[in-house]
DNA sequence: GTGTTACCATTAACATGTTAATTAAAATGG
DNA sequence: CCATTTTAATTAACATGTTAATGGTAACAC
């Protein structure tokens, strides 16, 4: 017996090499640095993302806002409800297509977001200081590439007969 | 005026270069490939992770199980409740320290997990095929490095006077 | 036109993420 | 010993993730 652990010649991928878990862990390590800022502001990570996107892109409909903020529409629906109640955004229906709404950042938020983003940038500097500028650039490159993976071949999704 | 968008000489970091968002997007792209497998099995991603860790590491207490599976303890508590009801794990208290429990994978699950992990490995092959073996190795290296970032300097957490 | 299909957004239901509070048991320090 | 402080795990409360279903509107095909 070569090894008490050799169950089938092929070892299953250890958890330590799981890509989703590695991505989660890395994200968590980064978020530890940003959470204090978010707590000060009184916005969650995802709420703040929505504000950043609107500040950066201008008014958007929900679908595109979700795309830019990397959120699913049901999450965005709930977030928009909260942000609207706090008067940080407003909504109107697109007259050309009444399915679509147009979400706009309140003018009063623009200066605040810009000023908070400077704190965010300072945290980034700390992180990049430790992690290295070239590591950071390389990581962002690889992540963007990975995000563009072809979606799976959608095998036998449900075998619905047309 | 050089540029209608130059609000303060320093542009805030665009959402496209946000590390947490980039990590989320990449994770989502990868998960798209694994979700069909999880759906077949009838386990969620996190439930399956717990089973994998137990299969790989043997019995563990909740704290270490959470660490290996990259879950927070409150999430793990709920997951263990479900898995115990489904008879895929069992729990006993550690007699040497009755705060601690010992969580064990049911023997009947071992063969099943091993066989399912072969399907997982096949999906990995597809992904690595597209993404490239060296990109994969480099990405995992960078992610592990990033996960080891020093935690933030824990500035003025609450200003508790001792 | 009318029926069908596709699309946008919301809702529903359940699982997990996140922070804080709580309980019980162990370690620690007089 | 006893009081205090840590630690392990759970619970609570709210936000988001995830999938499926729903309601309304628009585009399409006859």
B77 touches strand D (CB under 7 A): yes
Mean pLDDT of chain B: 90
Q: What are phi and psi of A69, to 5 degrees?
A: -90, 0
Give the three-class secondary structure for B38: helix
A74 touches strand D (CB under 7 A): yes
Percent pLDDT > 90 in chain B is 83
A39 touches chain B (CB under 8 A): no
| Whole-number pLDDT of residue B55 | 97
Q: Indicate if the pLDDT at residue B28 is higher than 70.
A: yes
CA distance A31 to chain B (A): 7
Please check the confidence at residue B110 and state whether its pLDDT lies above 50.
Answer: yes
pLDDT-derived band at B37 (thresholds 50, 70, 90) equals: very high
Give, as ranges, the nucleotides of chain C with any atom within 7 Å of a protein CB: 7-13, 15-20, 24-27
Residue whose Cα is closest to the C1' of D20:
A74
Phi, psi of B89 (to 5 degrees): -140, 165
The pLDDT value given to residue B75: 98
The reported pLDDT for the residue numbered B144 is 97
The pLDDT of residue A11: 74
> Any alpha helices (H) in A42-155, and if so which ranges?
45-57, 62-69, 73-85, 107-131, 133-147
Q: What is the pLDDT of residues A58-82, one digit of tens each?
A: 999 999 999 999 999 999 999 999 9
Burial class (CB in 10 A: 0-12, 13-18, 19+), B33: buried
Cα–Cα distance for residue pair A133/A139, rounded to 1 Å: 10
Distance from C-alpha of B44 to C-alpha of B35, rounded to nearest angstrom: 9
Q: CB-CB: which of A18, A121, A131 is closest to B146?
A: A131
Q: Would you call B33 an interface residue with chain A, using a CB distance cutoff of 8 Å?
A: yes
Which domains are seen in chain B, by residue range?
A: 44-133 (1.10.10.10)
Report pLDDT for A162.
33
Range in A13-27, A59-73, B10-24 the model is least confident about: B10-24
* Residues A39, A33 contacting (CB under 8 angstroms): no
The confidence score (pLDDT) of residue A151 equals 82
- The separation between the first and the last C-alpha atoms of chain B, rounded to the nearest angstrom, is 54
Mean pLDDT over residues A140-155, rounded? 88
Which of A9-13, A36-40, A144-148 shows the lowest mean pLDDT across its residues?
A: A9-13
A-contacting residues in B 82-141 (Cβ below 8 Å) = 114, 117-118, 120-121, 123-124, 126-127, 130-131, 135-136, 138-140
| A92-96, B24-28, B29-33, B101-105: the lowest-pLDDT one | A92-96
CA–CA dist A116, B13 (Å, integer): 12
Residue A8 pLDDT > 60: no
Given a contact cutoff of 8 angstroms between Cβ atoms, the answer to whether B22 and A147 are in contact is yes
């Amino acid at each position: 017996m070569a090894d008490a652990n050799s169950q089938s010649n092929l070892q299953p991928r250890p958890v330590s090499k799981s890509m989703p878990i590695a991505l989660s862990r890395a994200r968590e390590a980064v978020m530890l640095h940003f959470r204090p800022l978010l707590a000060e502001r009184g916005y969650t990570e995802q709420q703040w993302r929505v504000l950043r996107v609107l500040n950066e892109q201008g008014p958007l409909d929900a679908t595109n806002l979700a795309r830019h903020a990397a959120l699913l529409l049901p999450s965005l629906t709930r977030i928009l409800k909260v942000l609207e109640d706090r008067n940080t955004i407003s909504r109107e229906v697109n007259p050309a297509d009444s399915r679509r709404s147009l979400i706009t950042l309140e003018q009063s938020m623009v200066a605040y977001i810009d000023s908070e983003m400077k704190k965010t940038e300072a945290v980034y500097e700390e992180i990049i200081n430790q992690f290295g500028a070239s590591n950071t650039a390389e990581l962002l490159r690889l992540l963007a590439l990975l995000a563009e993976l072809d979606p799976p071949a959608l095998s036998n999704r449900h075998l619905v007969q047309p």
